[in-house]
Amino acid sequence: MESFSAVAFLGAMAIFMYGIRQSRIGIQLLAGDRLRSLVASFTDNRFVALVTGILTTLILQSSTATTVMLVGFAATGAITLTQAMGVILGADIGTTLVVALLSVKKIADYALLMLVAGVFLDIASQKKKTRHFSMVLLGFGFVFFGMQLMIHTTSPLKGNPLLTQIFLVLGDNPAYAFFLGAIFTGLVQNSATTLGLTIALAFSGLLNLTEAIPIVIGANVGTCTGSFVNSIGGGPCAKRVAIAHLFFKLTGAVVVMFLLKPYASLITILSSYFPGLQMNVASQIALTHLIFNLALSCLFLPFISQGAWMIDKIFPEPLIDENKIFGPRYLDPKSLETPALAFANAKRELLRMAEIAYTMFRNIIVVFEKQNHLIEEIEEQDDKVDILDREIKLYLAKISQESLTPEQARMQLNLVAITTDLEEVCDITSKSILELAERMYHKGRHFSEEGWNELKDVHAKVQENFELMISLLTHEDEAMARKATRHEKQLAVIEDQYREAHLQRLHKGLKESIETSSIHLEILSHFRRINSKLTAMVKAIIPEKSLYQTP
């Protein structure tokens, strides 16, 4: 190419950015629910959290995407700030792999071969996993092809007086280069794009290491934009994660910018230990990115607990406004592009719905003891459940079918089924059983002592199953699931025994039993129906048939 073409350069950048997006989607589809399982492995062990962040970023191909996911999980309360901080440090290290690949110029020579292989697999294969793998190949092919085009389109600029003057200004004023890298990364929402462009300019001979380092550091700070944007409306927990991410990056950036020349000397010395890096500015840029993020991890990882405590104190939990219009808290529409996060949000909202339903069921037995002040409360709770039922189903329906693995598609159907069953449990509680309680109250009738104890016993057993189901929503445990299904069979036997005992009281002519007979038997039936719904929810949460086979 004899002269610079702005259109060709923008086209090269577009191909590069499209490749990053395609490879990320393909790897995410290949990973499927393993990403959700990986995210679920967050623990208080800071080193496990660090590794989890690295692996998650390798799957998502973007530390911004990982941090956005963390913001979403923090907003739902699925993880603590301490856990998130460890993962953030790991995520920043995970980005270095892509940057390292971009700095190896020979890999770009195979870009067209990757594209050919990707297209062939996409056309020839009917299997979803193979086609997902073809997306990964096509994505990386576009990344490296776009990289080559950027190098070719910027090569004619070498020696250009205007550009030379611009880079001289950037070299004399590193702060300008820093802000340029941060702003550009914030706009494109991906540090790999900024770093890829910087490496391309280095390959073209337009940038030296000292000029490139502020851009690299600025790109690292610019990645915080995504987490800040996604924390808006996500509550204080989400904002704390975004603040922690910015704190890590800004602290490191300030140190490097004040010690720019010693840092450049350090990179030069380190690169001398690796053959081929001494005169390769592009590889030194990748090394700059790696050392910066490794240093941040070494600096902050030992003090994560103290840092989380400090951020919690600066940004405390606000008081809940009781007068606020009721609605969903965790159904973040920005998370719909990442199915694993969208499902986590839906489950968190479903857990909130289950807790309201549980309170309704727990209180319904008290209403029979003439606690009439609870009637209005139960009816209001039923209205809240109806709102969440509608919103959760609409949210799940918005998750793109094309971006789901077969396992995720089944999960989508199961969550809809659980939501429906839970809403029906609330209808049985607030309409059928509550109506029976009001009928007894207006007619001034009472259960016999034995009959009332039997109803309370069945209610307690169903309530225990309710608690098991809610526990399974937060932590999928096979032993707990088996226990819940055993309870269904045991309750059926107990209900039959209590029906027979009730009939015997009728034969004896007990006045209370005769007056409340139909209500007593209807309540037993409703409790059994609710328990069946709860068992169906358990089987939807852990759908493996082998769990429920009688040994």
CA 222 to CA 244: how far, in whole Å?
Answer: 14
Own/partner contacts of 331-337, CB < 8 Å, gap of 24 or more, are: 331/391, 331/392, 331/395, 332/72, 332/75, 332/230, 332/233, 332/234, 333/395, 333/398, 334/68, 334/72, 334/230, 335/69, 335/72, 336/395, 336/398, 336/399, 336/400, 337/403
- For 269-319, write each residue's pLDDT tens digit: 887 776 655 557 777 888 888 888 888 888 888 877 777 777 777 766 655
Question: Rg of the Cα trace of the chain?
Answer: 30
Pick the CATH number of 333-548 from 3.10.450.240, 1.20.58.220, 1.10.760.10, 3.40.50.880: 1.20.58.220
CB atoms within 10 A of CB 238: 25
The end-to-end CA distance of the chain, in Å, is: 74
Q: Name the amino acid, one letter, at 234.
A: G
Among the listed residues 36, 13, 357, 359, the one whose alpha carbon sits nearest the alpha carbon of residue 196: 13
For the chain, the residue count is: 551
The confidence score (pLDDT) of residue 544 equals: 59
DSSP string, 426-486: HHIIIIIIHHHHHHHHHHT----HHHHHHHHHHHHHHHHHHHHHHHHHHS--HHHHHHHHH
In the Cβ-directed half-sphere of 486, how many Cα atoms lie within 13 Å?
9
CA 347 to CA 466: how far, in whole Å?
Answer: 16
CA 474 to CA 479: how far, in whole Å?
Answer: 14
Task: Write down the domain spans for the chain.
Answer: 6-313, 333-548
Q: What SS3 state is found at 509?
A: coil
CB contact at 8 A, 433 and 365 = no
The confidence score (pLDDT) of residue 1 equals: 46
The confidence score (pLDDT) of residue 550 equals: 47
CA 193 to CA 171: how far, in whole Å?
Answer: 21
Q: What SS3 state is found at 223?
A: coil
The confidence score (pLDDT) of residue 546 equals: 46
Residue with tokens 């440090």: 89
Spell out a b/e string for 323-340, using b for 16 or more CB atoms within 10 Å of the CB, else e: eeeeebbbbbebbbebbb
Q: What SS3 state is found at 551?
A: coil
Segments in the chain below pLDDT 70: 1-4, 24, 27-45, 58-79, 97-109, 147, 151, 155-168, 188-190, 226-227, 229-238, 274-279, 315-324, 334, 338, 370-372, 400-403, 544-551
The confidence score (pLDDT) of residue 521 equals: 86
The Cα diameter of the chain in Å comes to 109
CA 357, 359, 365, 366 torsion: positive or negative?
negative
The confidence score (pLDDT) of residue 416 equals: 92
The confidence score (pLDDT) of residue 237 equals: 67
Residue with tokens 């692996």: 55
78 is written with which tokens? 């699925």
The confidence score (pLDDT) of residue 423 equals: 92
CB atoms within 10 A of CB 41: 13
Q: Name the amino acid, one letter, at 305.
A: S
**pTM listed for this prediction:** 0.60
CA 51 to CA 350: how far, in whole Å?
Answer: 30
Own/partner contacts of 44-48, CB < 8 Å, gap of 24 or more, are: 44/80, 44/82, 44/83, 46/82, 46/86, 46/301, 46/304, 47/86, 47/301, 48/86
CA 156, 159, 165, 167 torsion: positive or negative?
positive
The confidence score (pLDDT) of residue 450 equals: 86
Task: Kindly tell me the number of DSSP H helices and DSSP E strands found in the chain.
Answer: 25, 0
